[in-house]
Structure 1
């Protein structure tokens, strides 16, 4: 059911035309009666409005925007319920989303990309000061407006933002998908308490795409995408697109924002903005001109895999623990192909001479067993191996004292990196 041109909503907003429609609702251009002001009227579909979780999200967005008064956020005029339609009347902005720009132009010049990121950080700084965390930053939620003083950025869709409540809010508890997996921080994917550094991770993903025309991890099933953000390293922008000549310092700022641990990222939005400001002050910060058509979005493919460092033969002795040979042998073969000395081991034998042990998860008690083995005297680092779609294993591996989680079947680069890291941790 759609609103009709000329229809009056809330007794004061007359619909002029449709601007866009999504799964949850639609956005219309409307005129506020009496004031003659053009507004953007965000309206939820009636069948969606009946779901308590979505209604709460809608009300939350209105409350968040009412508190957050910044030129980079959208001003809210009114919201309510009329004839079964939940509506939110907001400032009418003109321009286009960053997503549309990236689709058309591909990678942006570094100075422009940094400018967009810095203006976004100004909005985040104001929001975080109020205890508001966006939780869904992505190119489609950044709106670019042309302005005589320079390009302006509006941060849209605070519907998932936290507002004076714990990260494990009721929306999450009701089973809603909170956020967009391709831009979510590891702690958000795990459902851990969030602070502003989670938004910085998401912005790091956006900045990465602006600089390279690539997303940090190419499109893949949701669970694989989540696993990538939790465990896989991101290829630095300079290596992902060496043809675009992203500076080493700018690449380092992006990679710092994309650190898996929040404590390794910039302390807050102001700190990240200062780091980007320093990048702009570098000599030669302007982008080297490209030939027409370079960096287009159709080049948005998986970043090239970098050759994983192969350990010297015999450098690392790895044990594989599994109850059946058909489970152990594929891992032994994969480890050997990566340059490791590997063999199948038993649960009762001593593992002290091994550098690392990979435990193949079998059944629901696998995690509990692995946690018991971790407490053995002299035990080497343990890596739990199992299907990536088993979310309990993925999220529980690190919490029980295990060194890491290896999705099966293993990716050779990922396997080499994790075993090498585990072995170094023992030394």
Structure 2
């Protein structure tokens, strides 16, 4: 620990944050545990390094990014409470998250089991969906910026430091300085970041794939050091197949294909957005045929495995009403029955009467022979709409159109009740 961070202890920044202890240090700044005066609330206070705060345009970028980050309200993202400047020092007050970073977990545990890695990354993708919808790109997604707040057997994630990489350099350019510091983390950086080009949400998808590659094989696609060699790999070398690194790894082909798709060198060659990746990721552990072999334009149907392993019943948040829009047919009754059986409070509704503001999630079940995609997208676009889940034919093209149209999740028919309940439980957690 350098003398400067320790010397700040006991100070009260901007008259409202009393610094208690150092939680950690990174390339951008030092994180303290602080008490917010008057509220008796403990926060994580990040104080940016002087060389960051004094770089050209840093104050303006910091204020712009912090204002944007404060708009991100998602249970999987660390909330931003306040930000400001004190004597030239820029600080950001965030939710104090108790847990362990994925970096620490994987250092101790090594590669994660496939289901755990998929569950963790799917939760991160839910957060990315919410952030990207606001125009927020993380730019420095890595295991050290993802906190686990639950047991590894049932992990809950918190994504930290949204948007702060933009403060370092207005173009999000990754540069190696004279001191050897890299503005970004080379092991998880997209090729466009390495080139110093503008980035969008697909850069985060590349970084997430680097993380998933590490969780499954024990290492990122191109290693971690030296920085120049790692960045050269991102720019010019094809990523190594996961099973080539761990031949003994029992890895679904669809999961490996998804990781490699997200590691495409050009953004337009990657999946369209975080929603599409999350949908594909959740399907990778149980598909009957590899998704990479399903022609998207033809919407080829997939057969479900004859005997899927039983899934654990999700934790059901009590007292949160779930609307089921019934258009008739046996599936509507089956959906309501499956949800009610595990403890969800189900409220039937019709197309003519859909009180969106009263629901925490809405499940739409079309009548036989009817396409409810347009209806679902229309309802999901309303400002008061909760997460909307659409049931429908097990067709990849329809699923993709639904996600691209703003649907929270897609539930294939014939119905798999445990899968339905898991998806609805995730929707309720996202809404809260």
Place the TM-score, normalised by the shorter chain, in its bin: 0.5 to 0.7
Q: Which residue of 1 aligns with 2:93?
A: 89
Residue segments in structure 1 that go unaligned for 5+ positions in a row = 287-427
Name the CA shift for 1:246/1:231 in 2 (closer, same or farther; >3 Å): same
Alpha-carbon displacement from aligned partner over 1:118-160 (angstroms, at most 9, x marks no partner):
0111111111111221121111111111179942211112244
1:268 aligns with 2:264: no
Give secondary structure in 2 for the equivalent of 1:233. Answer: coil
Give secondary structure in 2 for the equivalent of 1:215. Answer: coil
Tell me which stretches of 4 or more aligned residues in structure 1 moved more than 6 Å.
173-176, 283-286
Please give the alpha-carbon distance, in whole angstroms, between the structure 2 residues aligned to 1:173 and 1:161: 10
Q: Which residue of 2 aligns with 1:29?
A: 33
**How far 1:208 moved relative to its partner?**
0.3
Alpha-carbon displacement from aligned partner over 1:255-289 (angstroms, at most 9, x marks no partner):
11112222322111000001011113446999xxx
Name the CA shift for 1:180/1:23 in 2 (closer, same or farther; >3 Å): closer
Structure 1 residues 236-251: aligned runs within 5 Å: 236-251=241-256
Name the CA shift for 1:178/1:219 in 2 (closer, same or farther; >3 Å): closer
Alpha-carbon displacement from aligned partner over 1:39-75 (angstroms, at most 9, x marks no partner):
1111124454333354455434422321222111111
Alignment root-mean-square deviation, CA = 3.0
Question: Does structure 1 conserve the Cα–Cα contact (< 8 Å) formed by 2:172 and 2:197?
Answer: no
Please give the alpha-carbon distance, in whole angstroms, between the structure 1 residues aligned to 2:241 and 2:24: 35
1:102 aligns with 2:106: yes
Question: Does structure 2 conserve the Cα–Cα contact (< 8 Å) formed by 1:141 and 1:155?
Answer: yes
Please give the alpha-carbon distance, in whole angstroms, between the structure 2 residues aligned to 1:141 and 1:261: 24
Name the CA shift for 1:245/1:215 in 2 (closer, same or farther; >3 Å): same
Structure 1 residues 67-216: aligned runs within 5 Å: 67-146=71-150, 150-160=154-164, 169=170, 172=173, 177-216=182-221
Aligned residues: 283
Give secondary structure in 1 for the equivalent of 2:248. Answer: helix
Q: Which residue of 2 aligns with 1:397?
A: none
Residue segments in structure 2 that go unaligned for 5+ positions in a row = 288-304, 310-432
Structure 1 residues 210-225: aligned runs within 5 Å: 210-225=215-230
Q: Which residue of 2 aligns with 1:230?
A: 235
Please give the alpha-carbon distance, in whole angstroms, between the structure 1 residues aligned to 2:26 and 2:185: 15
TM-score between both structures, scaled by the size of structure 2:
0.59
Please give the alpha-carbon distance, in whole angstroms, between the structure 2 residues aligned to 1:54 and 1:73: 23
- Report which stretch shifted further, 267-276 or 253-262: 253-262
**How far 1:25 moved relative to its partner?**
2.5
Name the CA shift for 1:187/1:285 in 2 (closer, same or farther; >3 Å): farther
Please give the alpha-carbon distance, in whole angstroms, between the structure 1 residues aligned to 2:170 and 2:89: 24
Give secondary structure in 2 for the equivalent of 1:42. Answer: strand
Name the CA shift for 1:24/1:277 in 2 (closer, same or farther; >3 Å): closer
Question: Does structure 2 conserve the Cα–Cα contact (< 8 Å) formed by 1:117 and 1:207?
Answer: yes
Please give the alpha-carbon distance, in whole angstroms, between the structure 2 residues aligned to 1:103 and 1:73: 23
1:256 aligns with 2:299: no
Alpha-carbon displacement from aligned partner over 1:16-51 (angstroms, at most 9, x marks no partner):
221112354211111112221111111124454333
Please give the alpha-carbon distance, in whole angstroms, between the structure 1 residues aligned to 2:73 and 2:36: 21
Q: Which residue of 1 aligns with 2:48?
A: 44
- Report which stretch shifted further, 141-150 or 73-82: 141-150
Please give the alpha-carbon distance, in whole angstroms, between the structure 2 residues aligned to 1:85 and 1:121: 33
Question: Does structure 1 conserve the Cα–Cα contact (< 8 Å) formed by 2:47 and 2:91?
Answer: yes
Give secondary structure in 1 for the equivalent of 2:261. Answer: helix
Please give the alpha-carbon distance, in whole angstroms, between the structure 1 residues aligned to 2:108 and 2:217: 14
Name the CA shift for 1:91/1:57 in 2 (closer, same or farther; >3 Å): same
TM-score between both structures, scaled by the size of structure 1:
0.60
Name the CA shift for 1:12/1:148 in 2 (closer, same or farther; >3 Å): farther
Name the CA shift for 1:26/1:161 in 2 (closer, same or farther; >3 Å): closer
Please give the alpha-carbon distance, in whole angstroms, between the structure 2 residues aligned to 1:264 and 1:192: 16
Alpha-carbon displacement from aligned partner over 1:336-386 (angstroms, at most 9, x marks no partner):
xxxxxxxxxxxxxxxxxxxxxxxxxxxxxxxxxxxxxxxxxxxxxxxxxxx
